[in-house]
Chains A and B, each alone.
Chain A
Amino acid sequence: MLPPSPRPAGWPALLLGTLLLAGALLCGLRLAAILPPEQWWQALTQPVPGDMTQVVFRHAVLPRMAMALLCGAALALSGVILQRVLRNPIASPLTLGISPGAQLALGAAMLWAPTLLAASREAVALAGATTAMALVAALSWKRGLAPAAVVLAGLVVGLTASALSAALILMKGEYLLSLLLWGAGSLAQAGWEPVLALAPRLALAAAAAFLLRRPLLLLGLEDTSARSLGLSLALGRAAALGVAVWLAAVVVAEVGVIGFVGIGAPALARLAGVRGMGRLMAWSAGFGAALLLLADGLVQLGQGLRGDLLPTGAATAVLGAPILLWLLPRLRAGSPAVMAGITASRRLARPWLFLALLLAAMPVLTWFGLALGRGPEGWSLALGVDWLGMLPWRAPRLAAAMAAGAMLAASGTVLQRLTGNPMAGPEVLGLGAGAGFGLALLLLLVPAPGRPAQLLAVAAGAGLALGLLLLAARRGGLAPERLLLAGVSLAAFFQALVAAFQASGDPRAVPLLGWLAGSTARLGPEDATIAVGLALLLLPPVFLAGRWLALLPLGDGVAVGLGLRPGLARLGLVLPAAMLAGAATLVVGPLSFVGLMAPHLARWLGLRTPRQHLAGAVLLGALVMGAADVLGRGLAFPFQLPAGLVAALLGGPYLMALLARRGQVA
């Protein structure tokens, strides 16, 4: 939460008034461009039959403005409730996986239950949103819905839902054009019906929120204090979460995913000095409405009356970025209980012998992975000459995938040990999303760019994300939780931009989709050489830093006592971790979960010291990503599933199970 800062009493009104005035001005300009002001009243009261300008004025432009106000208010209200219930200033429908869940449900219904969709889009979206929120809550329930636990559960659920949506789009893209568009949130309207559907729902939710304002206030306190005040925490939480999820689902059903209003509006309200739960909710809704009206006005101004559609959801991401960057250094670190270290369930008697055996098994497993394939006759093992014949097709992609898996695993191990957070990982740091942004920009600007240019763009994007991350986290001295929260926000920001590009339906976005899904099929011997070379270059320094990894989690005092400069050591670990993640992302895309999963597997097997942990994770990461590549070749034959996607679909449920289990232990 933000620290309270004294502001003059008139501040909120002044700020809101300014925003609304700017939004109204843009709206007025837009309206005047369509219809002369002297005809406005007539168009509303006595429209001339058949006058299309008046129809557009009345049934497209005005409802769009109303929609912007309503959606902005709804998302802000949803955000402020989520933030309060979860005691987490960056909780929002997007970061908690609620909007991706709703989107996935809509996509699945489009393919398999079109009648359901025609009957009620809201019900379908609500089912998806509720499932996502219920999953997030279930996964972090036992840990008291602690901020970091919730955000990470939300991330896992959201990324898994996005991975499933990406799989649907890859397989059935032509049927799912609207799914891409919804992902970017367009506010265009073709009548008042959606507005009239949203308005009473918002009113109802606002009333419910008003009634819940006292429980919500208490939920902002620590659990123990709230409980001592006699509040039924579970009930209050469930009710408040229900309201927030419903609001988010209705917005997704009507216009799609719009990010940042849910974070930005409450932040603005707090910044303006609004205090008290009821007031905070009311002012946040107001700020949300004003923000989205302004953003949509800017979108339409930029777009003019010509050219391709520019979705509003993407624009809010751009406008929201400065707010986020301002907000990040001001996040309060979580309670230490949340950041409990990794506890291994067992200890191996002879860890190095185990690692040696695992290493020895690698060639056998690799041989098997190369031999296993699926043709029209089914699965088969290619032996002898056949094995050699398949080598040019199977070896490069497998080698690249395994190298990427190893790098992700090393990166994840470093981040998890460094932050003491079992859910840290390169996926969480927003590097993949940054890389995706770089690639999207290149594909937009350069027709049919070659591989070297694509590699450069991806590297530059990942570097940009890392720079932003370090900048945002600088004030916190790379405090673990702040780093994670910064990464999650960055990921959401870049994802919104990439979604906007995809939404245009531009076929140039197709290679982007392939990369986002982690396609390895395009990789040749050169790519494999680069990937393996990067792994060989970047992995050894991390092993050398094993001592830092052992000392830093003991606390800065101990580390200093042993002659370590904690800040420098952290940077010395975060940088290689980021480079490893970036290099792996070049190969398998941003969506794999291997960086989260492999360190866990290694821990679970009982590898405890930093170097053992690293070595085990690296081998397991290579194995998991390699297995994903082999499975991806055959699972949906003749369709090939991208390795990153397969790994994510394997890893998502694993991580969810892990989160739930850890919850019971903790």
Chain B
Amino acid sequence: MRATAGRRGLLLGAAGLAARPARAAAPRVAAIDWGLAETLLGLGVAPVAAAELHGYAHWVREPAMPAGVVDLGLRGEPNLELLHRAAPELILATPQFAPFLPRLERVAPVASFATYVPGGDPLVRSQDIARAIGRLVGREAAAAALLGKAEAAFEAGARRLSGMAGRPWLTASFVDARHLRAYGRTSLFGATLARLGLINAWTEPTNAWGFATVALERLAAVPEAQLLLIEPVRSEVEADLGRSPLWQALPAVRAGRVARLGPCWAFGGLPSAMRFAGLLPHE
């Protein structure tokens, strides 16, 4: 695990929370990042506070956020007063919150986890992070169970999709009708495809989050691909695609090899990977 710890805070927090007797009352944890929030929920722990709950319900979907969780507002600018009032014992954050770190540490110890690093495998890191969070909140058993459940889901998915193993899959979300984000090996979707024994059609360079924003014409380079479009596809994009000769000429479109998935959070953790695997069409 390479949890970049929130300096002095993490050690204190880890010691403090791990010292609880097992099966104690639910630890009070705040999770600002959606991927960490869903992982926490996957461990059976509801966060006391999380950010942009409306957006979470729309983009992440599963596991559902229970009622009573404090909405901290924007992920990019969490409401610190509310966070303070929610009185968490531990805050889960990512390195993206580095500018906020001193402020967050005033509220509670911060554990910072990077799921996405250049060249890293986000699925492996998601598993490590689930285990690490399990240790931090005293839910090692739940973490082991989540990992087991994920393994089972991936195994089942691999079996279900074994008939498709020969075909490369291209996961993408549309920006507008002329541009899309293609997800590569180091994206959550790409890593999950690999775990399922499937081939990722996008082998070109991507950014640290594992995707590349590219023009539509680049799809022509992978004629044999099965297209997986992450919902939502905006209505005006649909309309433009319907009139685009380039889109219509793509082999995948002509052969009807275009599937819609989701929504499914591209920058999530283990639960999002499981959701993605479950959404994949097997025919």
Within 8 A of A (CB), among B222-280: 223, 234-236, 239-241, 243-247, 249-251, 254, 267
Alpha-carbon distance between A636 and B82 when the two chains are bound, in angstroms? 14
- In the complex where A306-B205, A393-B80, A448-B98 touch, is A504 in contact with B213 (Cβ < 8 A)? yes
- In the complex where A191-B244, A191-B246, A521-B80 touch, is A55 in contact with B220 (Cβ < 8 A)? yes
Interface centre among B80, B208, B218, B247 (most CB of A within 10 A): B80
Against B, the Cβ 8 Å flags (1 = close, 0 = not) of A624-659 are: 000000000100111110100000000000000000
CB pair A393–B84 under 8 Å, yes or no, is: yes
Q: Which of B73, B181, B217 contacts A640 (CB 8 A)?
A: B73
Alpha-carbon distance between A306 and B106 when the two chains are bound, in angstroms? 44
Against B, the Cβ 8 Å flags (1 = close, 0 = not) of A472-515 are: 00000000000000000000000000000001111110110110
- In the complex where A309-B215, A640-B74 touch, is A522 in contact with B209 (Cβ < 8 A)? no
What residues of B have a CB within 8 angstroms of the CB of A60 in the complex?
Answer: 215-217, 220, 246
Please list the residues of chain A having a beta carbon within 8 angstroms of any beta carbon in chain B.
50, 52-53, 55-56, 59-61, 110, 114-115, 117-118, 121, 170-171, 174, 177-178, 181-182, 186, 188-193, 305-309, 373, 375-376, 390, 392-394, 447-451, 454, 503-508, 510-511, 513-514, 519, 521-524, 526, 633, 636-640, 642
B81 CB within 8 Å of chain A: yes
Q: Which of A171, A373, A394 contacts B74 (CB 8 A)?
A: A171
B111 CB within 8 Å of chain A: no
CB pair B215–A186 under 8 Å, yes or no, is: yes
Alpha-carbon distance between A521 and B84 when the two chains are bound, in angstroms? 13
- A sample of 26 cross-chain residue pairs with beta-carbon separation below 8 angstroms, ordered by A number, consists of A52-B250, A55-B246, A55-B249, A56-B220, A59-B246, A60-B216, A60-B220, A178-B175, A191-B243, A192-B245, A193-B243, A305-B221, A375-B81, A376-B82, A393-B80, A394-B81, A505-B211, A506-B208, A507-B116, A507-B208, A507-B267, A514-B99, A524-B106, A526-B102, A633-B79, A636-B73
Among residues of A, the one whose C-beta sits closest to the C-beta of B83 is A393
Please list the residues of chain B having a beta carbon within 8 angstroms of any beta carbon in chain A.
55, 59, 70-74, 76-82, 84-85, 95-96, 98-100, 102-103, 106, 116, 118, 175-179, 181, 204-209, 211-218, 220-221, 223, 234-236, 239-241, 243-247, 249-251, 254, 267
Interface centre among A306, A373, A638 (most CB of B within 10 A): A638
CB pair B209–A170 under 8 Å, yes or no, is: no
What residues of B have a CB within 8 angstroms of the CB of A447 in the complex?
Answer: 95, 118, 208
Q: Which of A308, A524, A638 contacts B71 (CB 8 A)?
A: A638
What residues of B have a CB within 8 angstroms of the CB of A526 in the complex?
Answer: 102
B148 to chain A, nearest CB (A): 30
Interface centre among B76, B221, B254 (most CB of A within 10 A): B76
What residues of B have a CB within 8 angstroms of the CB of A514 in the complex?
Answer: 76-77, 99
Alpha-carbon distance between A393 and B107 when the two chains are bound, in angstroms? 10
What residues of A have a CB within 8 angstroms of the CB of B267 in the complex?
Answer: 507
Alpha-carbon distance between A447 and B217 when the two chains are bound, in angstroms? 31
Alpha-carbon distance between A307 and B223 when the two chains are bound, in angstroms? 19
A118 to chain B, nearest CB (A): 4
A44 to chain B, nearest CB (A): 13
Interface centre among B181, B244, B254 (most CB of A within 10 A): B244
CB pair B207–A506 under 8 Å, yes or no, is: yes
CB pair B179–A188 under 8 Å, yes or no, is: yes
CB pair B243–A110 under 8 Å, yes or no, is: no
Alpha-carbon distance between A117 and B235 when the two chains are bound, in angstroms? 9
Alpha-carbon distance between A633 and B267 when the two chains are bound, in angstroms? 28
CB pair A170–B74 under 8 Å, yes or no, is: yes
9 nearest A-B pairs in the assembled complex, by CB-CB distance: A188-B215, A60-B217, A118-B236, A178-B176, A638-B73, A639-B73, A448-B95, A190-B246, A190-B244
Q: Which of B74, B209, B218, B234 contacts A639 (CB 8 A)?
A: B74
Alpha-carbon distance between A59 and B241 when the two chains are bound, in angstroms? 13
Among residues of A, the one whose C-beta sits closest to the C-beta of B211 is A505
What residues of B have a CB within 8 angstroms of the CB of A305 in the complex?
Answer: 218, 221
CB pair A507–B209 under 8 Å, yes or no, is: yes
CB pair B234–A110 under 8 Å, yes or no, is: yes
A198 to chain B, nearest CB (A): 14
Q: Which of B118, B213, B251 contacts A505 (CB 8 A)?
A: B213
What residues of A have a CB within 8 angstroms of the CB of B207 in the complex?
Answer: 308, 504, 506
What residues of A have a CB within 8 angstroms of the CB of B81 in the complex?
Answer: 373, 375, 390, 393-394, 633
B270 to chain A, nearest CB (A): 19
CB pair B74–A308 under 8 Å, yes or no, is: no
Q: Which of B76, B181, B246 contacts A170 (CB 8 A)?
A: B76
- In the complex where A118-B239, A505-B213, A506-B207 touch, is A519 in contact with B77 (Cβ < 8 A)? yes
B231 to chain A, nearest CB (A): 12
Alpha-carbon distance between A397 and B85 when the two chains are bound, in angstroms? 18
Other than A59-B244, A188-B215, give 15 A-B pairs with Cβ distance below 8 A. A52-B250, A55-B249, A174-B55, A188-B216, A188-B217, A190-B177, A306-B204, A308-B206, A376-B82, A447-B208, A505-B181, A508-B208, A511-B98, A513-B76, A633-B81
Alpha-carbon distance between A106 and B102 when the two chains are bound, in angstroms? 38
B171 to chain A, nearest CB (A): 15
